[in-house]
Amino acid sequence: MTLLEELRKETAELHQQLDNWEVALRLMSSEVAAIDYFQYLQSFCALHVAVEPILYREVARFFPELAFNQRLSLLEKELHQHRLTAPIIDASVDLQEIEGMRCLGAIYVMEGSRLGGRFIANHLGKHQARIGVTEFPFLTEKPTVSWNAFLAFLATVPDNERDIVVTAAKYMFNFVRLALEKAVEIINEKNSI
């Protein structure tokens, strides 16, 4: 079994939990509204604030070009265009969980989210009239390092490092889910005032 196959197998349930995140479900419904997309952007911005400074600095030690795949500035720009801000969540990635080769498991999760983003953008494009947004830069931006280039690098991970990469991917999926849930909780509290 390749490392990619192992990652997919070992994280399938965690990936499904993210697919079932309340905002993702609304975003992919036929009744999607602008508020759903905006809440998605705000939540992901809060997540990227908590993740990018630590994770991409760590991954640059092994794969320097991948540091250019950061998306926080793109998220902030898109939020600004819609006159929105991201919630501040009291969370940051635990460096010990993603340091060294472990960072590749965490990057697997963050970079893999781009694939889901393209799928979401395709769906939103069919509902532009309802949501009043015609472009989705965060979801459609082409990365400096492609998914296939990352997978090729991932394939070079030594066998004795595979377990820690998988463990870090599991950690990251859980961190992402908790961060997104916390962000939505803060957004909902703010909107109910």
**Residue ranges of the domains in the chain?**
3-188
Q: Both tokens of residue 98?
A: 């993603």
- Check residue 21 and give left, alpha or beta (phi > 0: left; psi -120 to 50: alpha): beta
Q: Give the distance, in angstroms, between the CA of residue 71 and the centroid of all CA atoms in the same chain.
A: 9
Mean pLDDT by 10 residues, the chain (193 residues): 96 96 93 94 95 94 93 94 90 88 96 92 89 89 94 96 97 96 91 67
Q: Both tokens of residue 159?
A: 């066998």
pLDDT, position 186: 93
Q: Which fold has domain 3-188?
A: Heme Oxygenase; Chain A (1.20.910)
Counted residue by residue, the chain has a size of: 193
pLDDT, position 133: 87
pLDDT, position 92: 83
Distance CA 148, CA 112 (A): 11
